[in-house]
Amino acid sequence: MEVSELEARERNLELIAQLEASGSLQEGPVADAFRAVLRHHFLPGRPLTEVYEDTALPTKVDERGVPVSSSSQPAIMALMLEQLHCRPGQAVLEIGAGTGYNAALLWHLVTPGGRVVTMDIDEDLCQQARAGLLQAGIEEVLVVCADGAGGWPAGAPYDRIVVTASVTDLSPAWVEQLAEGGRLVVPLALAGRVQQSVAFVRSGRSFFSDGLVSCGFLGVRGWLAAPAPEPDPELEAWLAEPGRPLGAVLTEEDPLEFESWLALTHPGYVRASLAGRPVFGLRDAGGVALVGAEEGSHVVAVHGAGEGAATRLAAAHREWTRRRPRLGRLRIDAFPAGSEPDLSRYRNVIRRPRFTFAVE
């Protein structure tokens, strides 16, 4: 397909204007990088009308037809690059090469004097990234085919590490390879339906958050891939019995934001399927209180001896209704598992095999 470079540049400018109008992109180095890098170089054969839309575009599917890689939505790319705070002369490691588009943006941010290493576990994607970078006239980015969970020690230390696939835990290798005071930006899938792109600053062997934005990414593959959920016989037994409706109705038409806040800030958050319908809520030692859609409303029902959980859920919803806390104001800090400090000041603690995440 013959591509008009002039039309591509015009459409790219229209995309940048859209990102600036939405607040995803600020005038400055990141916007300059978007002006310098044309997305169609990394998505050959696609119509420009599709390439320069603010949307994610799948680039590879598995044998079941399920996407395993995509060109990320430009809006979330811009937000994450803003979180990264790259400067000329810095060394950057990217986990998840994808098409190579983000690596090209990173290269513009750290030029002159900087360097970029981008990694992907999939050789097909590495070849695609190399071809896209070459088409864009960028030969300096090193594309490595390997599991990004191990990082790339040959290029360490890095001033910045960015992960472009969602993870449920962090890799100790990223601590080892990130310079003290360096920034790690990573999409975390800790709880709930919404992921958070967290900007961490390394201090010793811990990470302290410096802002987060909601996002959505395909899950990482390889060593850090999320394990399959384990059976929960206790929850299954509670849900096998009919629930007792409390008559409590949530006011939200779509409680996504409330659920996301609840998941991160309240111990005992649970999400399940009941009679084929998704439900969420809180559990305690004796039972569970769940929110489910019913005839256009969202009704709370108790299963097992979940009255205590229902009381906590109602209190949480009152707090949410009164304060409308923004997810972006949450703080998520990460400590190596087994060597955490006193976490009593935090509102919620989410434990993973390698890191413990504390939320306030």
In terms of residues, how long is the chain?
360
Residue 350, C-beta contacts closer than 8 angstroms, at least 6 positions apart: 190, 191, 264, 356, 357, 358, 359
DSSP letter string over 252-275?
Answer: -SSTHHHHHHHHHHSTTEEEEEET
Q: Which helix (H) or strand (E) holds 78?
A: helix 74-84
Residue 331, C-beta contacts closer than 8 angstroms, at least 6 positions apart: 209, 359, 360
Quick check: 181 and 203 in contact, CB under 8 A? yes
Residue 4, C-beta contacts closer than 8 angstroms, at least 6 positions apart: 48
Q: Which member of 4, 22, 24, 69 is catalytic?
A: 69
Catalytic-residue membership of 171: no
- What are the counts of helices (DSSP H) followed by strands (DSSP E) for the chain? 10, 17
Active site residues: 69
